[in-house]
Amino acid sequence: MAGVGLSATDAPRVAVWRDVRILRGALQVGFVVGVVALGVWLVSNLTTNLDRLGIRSDFEFLGAPAGFRILGSDFEASGTIREALIVGITNSIRVAVIGMILALLLGIVVGVARLSQNWLIARVASGFVELLRNVPPLVLVIVFYQVTLEVLPRIQDAAVSNGFLFSNRGVWIPWVTLGEGSRTYLAVLLAGLAAAIVVARARRARFERTGEPARAGLLATATFLVVAGVGWLVLDPPITPSLPVLDGRLVEGGASLYPEYLSLLLAMVLYTASFIAEIVRGSIQAVPKGQTEAADALGLSPGQRLRQVTLPQALRIAAPATGNEFLNLTKNVSLGVAVGYAELLRVAQTATGNGQPAPQSLSLVLLGYLTLSIIISLVVNVANRRLQLVER
Amino acid sequence: MAAAIDAPAAVPPVRPRDPVVWLRRNLFSSWPSAVATLVLAPAVAITLFRFVRFLVVDARWEIVRVNLALYLIGPFPRDQVGRLWIALAVLAVALGAGAGAIAATARETAEAAGRPLNAGWGERIRRAGPPVLLVVGILAFASGVEPVLLTVGALGLGAAAAAVTQRLSPRGRRAVPALTVLGIGASLAIISRFGGVPATDWGGLLITMFYTIGALLLAFPIGILFALGRRSTLPVVRWGCTAYVEFFRGSPLITLLFVGWLILPFFLPPDFPTPGLVTRALIIFVFFTSAYVAEIVRGGLQAVGRGQREAAQALGLTPWKQTRLVILPQALRAVIPGLVGQAISLFKDTTLVLIIGQSDLLAVSRSVTKQDQFLGQGYIVESLTFVAIVYWVISYWMSRESQRLEARLGVGTR
């Protein structure tokens, strides 16, 4: 048993090809050399091919005029490719953010409904989940798109109800027109919000000092409403509602949701909500039974038990998995390309079709979506860390 | 403790079977619940009625009847269809054998854990229901008895193979995974080699299945390598593997498919023959799926206790043998449900090849409505419904089986 490396002086006796430190170093150097060689080979192939085909390999095309228009935005054909791509990523973000909010709300409602005491509600909720999550999201996007195109009436005979207008050119919803004082009014609203926070803090401090009921939420809301109301009266209605009105083949007022946008958003929301619902259900079931029993023992009503005991704990469990679904949703926004929604990939595809170099355009798309993914996972991680219980 | 286990089981309370009691408990337990029931019940009834009436009465299924072959195999040359039937039989045997081996392992695991499973006939019928209904539903659109007989024959062979491997000893079952892979490869070769049909002429459900099975088989070993790499003690290897996994998980698959379609050929030497469109898409699916497989397997590796590695070291196994004989088998068993989940998601993701211009099942459902006799009459509704149901049944069935498997393998419980 002599010679086993027990002391430092024995170390040199180990043969070089069996020395763990040297082996580890050699393996890592070999790995790096392999990866770098592969990368160099790929890049040299790329440049050779691009040169051979006469395709530019720089990013100067970004400053060139785009030569195409983008549906649903002010972008004109004279704008540059760079501006077009920015419109594209803005459109991606718009669907992603609105989709996340709606999918989260719907997912929580359906997830809670799946555990309802009422058999029918529970069955309808689980039917919703099973129906949607087993269909490819692209099928959903296309189904909703075709339904808008084929089932909704033509624009001339659009159906109007309660300020909504339905046609196969899109759906118009009631919206607002911003008047002259709208910027000032925004400042007034922010001031009201600040005042409300001050009031709430003061009330809570008072509660901790004296033990009198705080009613912080009530008083803070009242403060905000008073400031908002006074500002409204003084500023000569800064915001007026605007309803869509049909005029021949044109629609005045309201806000339009194009079929492409509508079908993509709807598919994203429903598909993601079905996954979030499952996560929420699992998380609620994962809350220890003692918690519900304790809530019952305190005499909380079923609604209070859900809102104040079960859900807050369940959402803490659900946070990481929900963050994953948000990432999936963001990446799935690129499915909009199938119905012609002008998200980032679609814009790049159009540019490529107009003769712009594909390698650079697609790299920018990948970069854009990777950046969005990273931002979302950072936000989710921060939120997650703040939600987790701090133990000892 | 022992006394508690040996004590006779308490008699479960008899469930009230009285329908009035059931109604009061489940539908009218409180005022809000009663109101919800009364509002929802008619809405659900009307929706279900309309849907069933559409399926049975209103739908003009002739678009599916006329084009069934297009939905299933796309532009595949019709004089070569015989190859497909042989390949289907081989595939059924291969997959049946694999399923039989997994079922036997699951049964033994459950028995070892003291929870023997005795599946009643009711459960068996419920399990077999979705795929049988799907096959019957598709065959209902077929013309003639020939396809029916051939399908039943192929599926019968698959069932027989499953029955045989279920009865094999654990030692005998060891060869089954290799045979399954071999069988899948053989069925591919039967279709495409020996004067067969190149993949560019495949379409419909056939190409959907090809991408799903092919990408899974290839991504599995690659994914395991990256999972091991991510847990390596060599920092450089770990970073490299992490970068690979995170890049492919952070990118939208459809963008990657565009990369494969438009710029993958640029990365190959100029004199290298450009791989076909199907190969390029398959490569992208493999890259993408292997990143997800790596994450799933990494979860399984983390779940294997430290003691296992230490025990293997104490036995004097080499590092490679420690991993292959002790760590991996335990890790992989724990992640089978996760891998099935990944298979479902890959199956759904194959629809994306529509966007790069290939005629998969979903693409066919759109293109057939442009035929002269169906143009502009809203047949897209029937066509999309048919295709959506096919996708739905297959992935619903797989997810049900995966949940069952999870319970059987006792993942998370010991």
Residues 337-376 of B with CB under 8 A from A: 344, 348-349, 351-352, 354-355, 362, 366
Partners of residue A115 in chain B, C-beta under 8 Å? none
- Regarding pTM above 0.80, the answer is yes
pLDDT at B8 over 80: no
Residues 116-145 of A with CB under 8 A from B: 117-121, 124, 130-131, 134-139, 142-143
Q: Stretch A29-56: mean pLDDT, rounded?
A: 85
Whether A31 is covered by a domain: the verdict is yes
Q: Which residue of B has its CA nearest to A150?
A: B378
Q: Are residues A47 and A162 in the same domain?
A: no
Residues 19-38 of A with CB under 8 A from B: 24, 27-28, 31-32, 35
Whether A195 is covered by a domain: the verdict is no
Q: Say which residue, B255 or A10, is predicted with more confidence.
A: B255
Alpha-carbon gap: B269 to the closest alpha carbon of chain A (Å): 5
Whether A284 is covered by a domain: the verdict is yes
| Exposure string over A293-312, b if 16+ CB within 10 A, otherwise e | eebeeeebeeeebbeebbbe
**CB–CB contact B251 A366 (8 Å):** yes
The partner residue sitting opposite B262, judged by closest CB among A28, A142, A362, is A362
Interface test with B, best of A40, A109, A130, A139 (most B CBs within 10 A): A139
Interface test with A, best of B256, B284, B351 (most A CBs within 10 A): B351
Tokens at A221, concatenated: 């809301």
CB pairs under 8 A between A and B: 141
pLDDT band at A5 (very low <50, low <70, confident <90, very high): very low
pLDDT at B288 over 90: yes
**CB–CB contact A349 B258 (8 Å):** yes
Interchain CB contact of A49 with B (< 8 Å): yes
Residue A331 CB partners (closer than 8 Å, separation 6+): A369, A373, B250, B251, B252, B253
Q: Are residues A48 and A97 in the same domain?
A: no
pLDDT band at B2 (very low <50, low <70, confident <90, very high): very low
Interface test with A, best of B48, B254, B394 (most A CBs within 10 A): B254
pLDDT at B250 over 60: yes
Residue B393 CB partners (closer than 8 Å, separation 6+): B130, B131, B133, B134
Start-end of H helices in chain A: 20-53, 81-114, 119-133, 137-151, 182-210, 216-234, 259-286, 289-297, 302-304, 311-332, 344-353, 358-387
Per-residue pLDDT tens digits for A234-278: 776 667 777 777 777 777 777 777 888 888 999 999 999 999 998
Q: What are the phi and psi torsion angles at B274 (to 5°)?
A: -70, 125
In this structure, of B180-184, B232-236, B253-257, B373-377, the range with the lowest mean pLDDT score is B373-377
pLDDT at A326 over 60: yes
Q: Are residues A44 and A94 in the same domain?
A: no
The partner residue sitting opposite A35, judged by closest CB among B36, B240, B256, is B240
Q: What is the predicted pLDDT for the residue at B287? A: 93
Per-residue pLDDT tens digits for B262-287: 888 888 887 777 788 888 899 999 99
pLDDT band at B121 (very low <50, low <70, confident <90, very high): confident
- The domain tally of chain A equals 2
The partner residue sitting opposite A117, judged by closest CB among B29, B267, B388, is B29
Side by side, which strands form the sheet with A164-167? A159-161, A164-167, A170-173, A255-257
Which amino acid, B65? R
Closest among B68, B104, B72 to B88, alpha carbons compared: B72
CA–CA gap between residue A61 and residue A59 (Å, rounded): 5
Q: Are residues A34 and A170 in the same domain?
A: no
Q: What is the predicted pLDDT for the residue at A274? A: 92
Interchain CB contact of B268 with A (< 8 Å): yes
Interchain CB contact of B14 with A (< 8 Å): no
Q: What is the predicted pLDDT for the residue at B275? A: 80
Residues 204-263 of B with CB under 8 A from A: 233-237, 240, 247, 250-256, 258-259, 262-263
Instruction: Please count the CA atoms within 13 angstroms of the CA of A160 that sit on its side-chain side.
Output: 13
pLDDT at A294 over 70: yes
Report the CATH number that the domain containing residue A94 is assigned in CATH.
1.10.3720.10
Partners of residue A362 in chain B, C-beta under 8 Å? 255, 258-259, 262-263
Domains of chain B (ranges plus CATH)? 59-76+202-399 (1.10.3720.10), 77-196 (no CATH)
Tell me how far apart the terminal alpha carbons of chain A are, to the nearest angstrom. Answer: 47
Whether A317 is covered by a domain: the verdict is yes
Which structural domain range is residue A17 located in?
8-53
Tokens at A74, concatenated: 């002010």
Q: Are residues A47 and A126 in the same domain?
A: no
Tokens at B7, concatenated: 């004590």
CA–CA gap between residue B321 and residue B305 (Å, rounded): 17
Q: Stretch A75-101: mean pLDDT, rounded?
A: 85
pLDDT band at A3 (very low <50, low <70, confident <90, very high): very low
C-alpha dihedral, B95 to B100 to B105 to B108, nearest 10°:
170
Q: Say which residue, A346 or B403, is predicted with more confidence.
A: A346
CA–CA gap between residue A253 and residue A176 (Å, rounded): 9
Closest among A170, A150, A148 to A251, alpha carbons compared: A170
Partners of residue A331 in chain B, C-beta under 8 Å? 250-253
Q: Are residues A40 and A115 in the same domain?
A: no
| Exposure string over B237-249, b if 16+ CB within 10 A, otherwise e | bebbbeebbbebb
Q: Stretch A323-343: mean pLDDT, rounded?
A: 87
In this structure, of A18-32, A55-69, B145-159, B165-179, the range with the lowest mean pLDDT score is A55-69
pLDDT band at B13 (very low <50, low <70, confident <90, very high): low
Whether A334 is covered by a domain: the verdict is yes
Interchain CB contact of A334 with B (< 8 Å): yes
pLDDT at A382 over 50: yes
Q: Stretch B119-145: mean pLDDT, rounded?
A: 78
Q: Stretch B203-213: mean pLDDT, rounded?
A: 87
CA–CA gap between residue B243 and residue B344 (Å, rounded): 25
Judged by DSSP in three states, B247 sits in: helix
Q: Are residues A309 and A382 in the same domain?
A: yes
Partners of residue A143 in chain B, C-beta under 8 Å? 384, 388
Q: Are residues A248 and A289 in the same domain?
A: yes
Instruction: Give yes or no for a contact between B382 and B59, defined as CB atoms under 8 angstroms apart.
Output: yes
Neighbours of B171 (CB within 10 A): 7
Whether A193 is covered by a domain: the verdict is no
Q: Are residues A276 and A380 in the same domain?
A: yes
Identify any residues that bridge with A65 across adjacent strands, giving them in sequence order. A80
Q: Give me the sign of the Cα torsion angle B175, B176, B177, B178.
A: positive
Q: Are residues A33 and A166 in the same domain?
A: no
Q: Are residues A140 and A15 in the same domain?
A: no
Tell me the pLDDT of chain B averaged across its residues. 81
Q: What is the predicted pLDDT for the residue at B3? A: 45
Q: Are residues A46 and A109 in the same domain?
A: no
Whether A283 is covered by a domain: the verdict is yes
